Structure 1
């Protein structure tokens, strides 16, 4: 029996293993944590990482266990990144598919909206949206989702334009297939490969954006743990307590690396031009 291409791709498997470790940590954090991530202990302020005390990653400037806060922050990062990516993907793909298939004025209007959103740097656009909507977790999801809309719109539009002139589309039209049927059964199934890759890469960027917004005080609000606000609070003590910044930063780096490796591997697997390169 032939091994699936995903299992044979070392890059994709390395990324998948990293992601699954974080998923496991997120699930475990729902039922068990080493310490209460919100509990403050004045007698345990800025303790170094130690097995003896049970604080494997040390404590922060309020005596809170850093490992527990990182584990709790994993769920926050996953929920926000997955929800925001899903929101941006659904709206962006809908816009791009109709723009590419209809063409003409509809294409111009839809893509000019996408171009306006694309003209702003991702972080600045997210900050602007948060400044307008206010500080709330739901608004973080909305802000990051809006940032992703033009990316998915452009990718799906380009893929639809490349496909809609093919013979099998003309054959479907000659057989009486309607527009919705062609979109659902012929076009959308054939553009899933680039969209899957984009979704995996967008998840990594969503984590970075959420962390950046929380770092700036616009995302998840203290005392609720988020990797971004943990890094923000660590700025005041990181010179003499570096573990307060190292471990949250490492958590971000490894999860982003996992999604990037998975996206790179999926690109190699799903793109027939790259299947024999590695």
Structure 2
């Protein structure tokens, strides 16, 4: 058994006290946000350990059981536990939403910065291309892409990314136009820096706050879009649980077994609100770091 010296022990205790004091100083909204994120991450990573039942196992004797002690969220027409299906449905729904949002915001950030930095014909061409993509309704464009390429997770992620690309590009460009006229961009250009260096080392940090907030909104929209595609039958295929698919399967029982539909909708709303609040909090934390002129 290793015994720490007295000096080391006395050094550790103040650090623990500082950590406890910082935790106590957190506002209730931050604590609630941390708990919400913990729940979401746990559902994605540890669904197999925290779900009380199998999400696909049939139990005819427990079919359409209302919420109770044995089944807190009730069961569906096949006796499958709704709580377990909601927990297991987080991974296919949210991974598609987050990856699609990252793809769309990444493409949009690069396109928006390039348009704002280059200006002229390059800006005009890129923005007309973005306008052409934005002319399609979101759900229709995503559905068209998935139907043409095939219904699988990779194609759904690509469809969500393409849908979000022009919207993120427009937002980033609006900020990049102002950043491109700042003195530190002109100084980098006079020094002979390469265009890629100016874009990603000089301009990107100045638009990062907007990108982070936009990403949080895209995760929100991506969750709803992923659920909508599953509802239309072109996302995750049964019997794999996904929140949109659960709503579709349970809609015929909504009059006398509404819990089948309610709980997946609650999960979608919970994730959407959490993503928006997280983006706003990150924007507040990162705002003081942008002091460049």
Give the structure-1-normalised TM-score: 0.88
SS at match of 1:224: coil
Tell me which residue corresponds to 1:276: none
Contact in 2 for aligned 1:227/1:248 (Cα 8 Å): yes
Report the alpha carbon displacement of residue 133 of structure 1 after superposing the two structures with TM. Answer: 2.0
Instruction: Tell me if 1:240 matches 2:260.
Output: no
Tell me which residue corresponds to 1:222: 238
Tell me which residue corresponds to 2:74: 58
Report the alpha carbon displacement of residue 25 of structure 1 after superposing the two structures with TM. Answer: 2.3
Instruction: Tell me if 1:260 matches 2:276.
Output: yes
Structure 1 residue corresponding to 2:59, chosen from 25, 29, 41: 41
Paired residues for 1:168-247 under 5 Å: 168-247=184-263
Paired residues for 1:113-192 under 5 Å: 113-192=129-208
Tell me which residue corresponds to 1:26: 44
In structure 2, C-alpha distance between the alignment counterparts of 1:122 and 1:10, rounded to whole Å: 36
Contact in 2 for aligned 1:88/1:147 (Cα 8 Å): yes
Contact in 1 for aligned 2:114/2:199 (Cα 8 Å): no
Report the alpha carbon displacement of residue 242 of structure 1 after superposing the two structures with TM. Answer: 1.3
In structure 1, C-alpha distance between the alignment counterparts of 2:29 and 2:129, rounded to whole Å: 36
* Structure 1 residues 9 and 196: alpha-carbon distance in aligned structure 2, compared to 1, 3 A threshold: farther
Instruction: Tell me if 1:72 matches 2:88.
Output: yes
Tell me which residue corresponds to 1:83: 99
RMSD across aligned C-alpha pairs, in angstroms?
A: 2.2
Q: Which has the higher contact order (CA 8 A, sep 6+)?
A: 1
Cα distance per residue 1:102-130 (max 9 Å; x no partner): 12222222111111111122122212222
In structure 2, C-alpha distance between the alignment counterparts of 1:226 and 1:251, rounded to whole Å: 11
Contact in 2 for aligned 1:14/1:261 (Cα 8 Å): no
* Structure 1 residues 199 and 13: alpha-carbon distance in aligned structure 2, compared to 1, 3 A threshold: farther
Report the alpha carbon displacement of residue 58 of structure 1 after superposing the two structures with TM. Answer: 1.2
Q: What number of residue pairs does the alignment pair up? A: 268
Report the alpha carbon displacement of residue 153 of structure 1 after superposing the two structures with TM. Answer: 1.0
Report the alpha carbon displacement of residue 211 of structure 1 after superposing the two structures with TM. Answer: 0.7
In structure 2, C-alpha distance between the alignment counterparts of 1:191 and 1:163, rounded to whole Å: 8
In structure 2, C-alpha distance between the alignment counterparts of 1:73 and 1:159, rounded to whole Å: 37
Report the alpha carbon displacement of residue 267 of structure 1 after superposing the two structures with TM. Answer: 4.0
Instruction: Tell me if 1:98 matches 2:102.
Output: no
Query: Which ranges in structure 2 are unaligned for 5 or more consecutive residues?
Result: 1-17, 289-293
Report the alpha carbon displacement of residue 11 of structure 1 after superposing the two structures with TM. Answer: 5.0
Contact in 2 for aligned 1:15/1:260 (Cα 8 Å): no
Give the structure-2-normalised TM-score: 0.84
Contact in 2 for aligned 1:42/1:62 (Cα 8 Å): yes
Tell me which residue corresponds to 2:291: none
Deviating beyond 3 angstroms after TM superposition, the runs of 4 or more aligned structure 1 residues are: 7-17, 264-272
Cα distance per residue 1:7-34 (max 9 Å; x no partner): 8666565444323211122222044531
* Structure 1 residues 10 and 97: alpha-carbon distance in aligned structure 2, compared to 1, 3 A threshold: farther
Query: Which ranges in structure 1 are unaligned for 5 or more consecutive residues?
Result: 273-278
